[in-house]
Structure 1
Amino acid sequence: MNYATMKMLAAVALASLLSACASTPSVDTQTAPNTNLAEYNTFGFVSPLGTDRAGYTSFLSNSLTGATRAALQGKGYTYTEDNPKMLVNFNVKVQQKTDIDTFGPPIAYGPWGYRAGLYGGWAGYGYPDMVDQYDEGTLMVDLVDPVQKAMIWEGVTKMRSNDASKWNEQQIRDHVNAVFAELPPAQ
C-alpha cells in the first residue's frame, strides 16, 4: 500500500470513529391501549399549542411545527388543516439541574516522592469538587385523536442546555426527528 492510500484509510477510520461517538437523543414513547396507529394518516396541530404564549405563537412553536411537518411528511403522513385524523401538540418543561463530581483523595507519597513506607505518606490537599449547573428541558410530543379528544401516542425526549431559551434549530430538529423515528410510518 502506498502512503496516500494509508493516509486516506486513516482519515476514513477517524471519521467513522467520530461519527460513532455522536450521541442520539434518547426517547420514551407510549401508545394508548387499543389504538391502531394505522388508522391515522393525516395530521394537523392543536390550537393553541402548549408551547405558545398568551395569545401568540412562540419561536419555539414555530421551530417545533416546522420540524414536525418535515418529520411526519417524511414518514408518509399528510398535513391538512381540514379534519386531520390526528392533532399534534407540544409541551416543554424546564428544570435546573446540578451535577456534582467528587474525586477521591490524591495518592499518598512519602518524602522526596518515594513510596510511603513504614510511616505512611503525605496525601496533600485533595481535589476540588466539580459543579455543573444546566437546564434540562423535557419535550413532550402528543398525538391526539380530535374526535375522541384523547391522546393516542406520546414521545418524550430531554434536551440539555446552559440556557433553555436558546435551543438552536438543529437541536430541535434532532430531537423531533428522534421522537418521530419511534412512530410507525403512515399506511
Structure 2
Amino acid sequence: MKRSQLLIPVLASVMLLVTSCSSVKVATDYDDAVDFNQYQSFAFYKPGIDKAEISDLDKKRILRAIETELTKQGFAKSSNPDMLISIFTKTNTNVDIYRNNFGYGYGWGWTPYYWRGAGRETVSTSTEGTLYIDLIDAQKKELIWQGMGTGVLSQDREAKIERINEIVMKIMEKYPPNKTK
C-alpha cells in the first residue's frame, strides 16, 4: 500500500476526533435600552424552567451552574429579585458517515481511470444540545438578555456534568453585555 493511501485514513481519524471535541458556540442578544448595572439579585422563573424538555436532574445541574456563575459575578439569589432566570433547550442528533475507499473490489474509486472501492463505512451519532438562558426584568416581565450555547453532549454522567458547567460558564461570561459591573 502506498504511503499516501495510509495517510488518508489517519487524517480522517484525526478530523473525526477534532470535530467530536468541538468547543461551545455562544451567541447573545440583549435590549440596548437596559442599564444592566441596576440588577443585583435573581431568582429562577419556575413556569419557564418547567417547560424545558430535559430531565429534572439536568435541569438541576443547569440551574446550579447558573447560580454559581451569577454569584461569582456578585449577584445574590433572592425571594424579591431584580431579574428572573428561565431556560429552554433544544437537541439535535447528528449522524456522521465516514467512508474509507481503500481496498480493491467493485465500485468507483478516487480517480476516473480505474475501478476501486470496497471500502468500509463508519457511522457515528452525536447529540448536540443548545441551551438558552433568558434573563427577565422581574418588575416589567420583559426579556432583557438572552444567551445561547451549543455543544456536543455526552451520555457519560461525569462528562455530561462537566459539559453542562462549561456551556453555562461560556454563556454567562457574556453577561452583562457592557461588563461595567
TM score, norm. by length of structure 2: 0.69
Q: Deviations over 1:9-32 (max 9, x none)?
A: xxxxxxxxxxxxx86422100012
Matched, 1:136 2:128: yes
Structure 1 gaps, min length 5: 1-21, 109-119
Contact 1:41 1:77 in 2 (8 A): yes
Task: Report 1:85-164 matches (<5 A).
Answer: 85-101=82-98, 106=109, 122-125=114-117, 127-161=119-153, 163=155
Tell me the residue number matched to 2:56: 58
1:87 match: secondary structure: strand
Deviation at 1:34, TM superposition (A): 1.2
* Residue type at the aligned position of 1:87: L
Per-residue CA deviations over 1:1-53 (Å, capped at 9, x if unaligned) read xxxxxxxxxxxxxxxxxxxxx86422100012312211112111102342567
Query: Which residue is equivalent to 1:67?
Result: 65
Shift of 1:127: 3.5
Which residue is 1:8 aligned to?
Answer: none
Q: Give CA deviations for 1:126-175 in whole Å, capped at 9, x if unaligned.
A: 53444332222110000001211111001101131354999722111111
Structure number with larger C-alpha Rg: 1
How far has the Cα of 1:76 moved from its partner? 1.5
Query: Are 2:130 and 2:149, in contact at CA under 8 Å, matched by a contact in 1?
Result: yes
Q: Is the 1:42–1:78 contact (alpha carbons within 8 Å) kept by the matching residues of 2?
A: yes
Distance 1:78 1:186, change over 3 A: farther
User: Is the contact made by 1:144 and 1:150 (CA closer than 8 Å) also made in structure 2?
Assistant: yes
CA RMSD of aligned residues (A): 3.2
| Further displaced range: 123-132 or 160-169 | 160-169
**Identical-pair percentage:** 21
Which residue of structure 2 aligns with residue 10 of structure 1?
none
Give unmatched runs, 5+ long, in structure 2: 1-20, 102-107
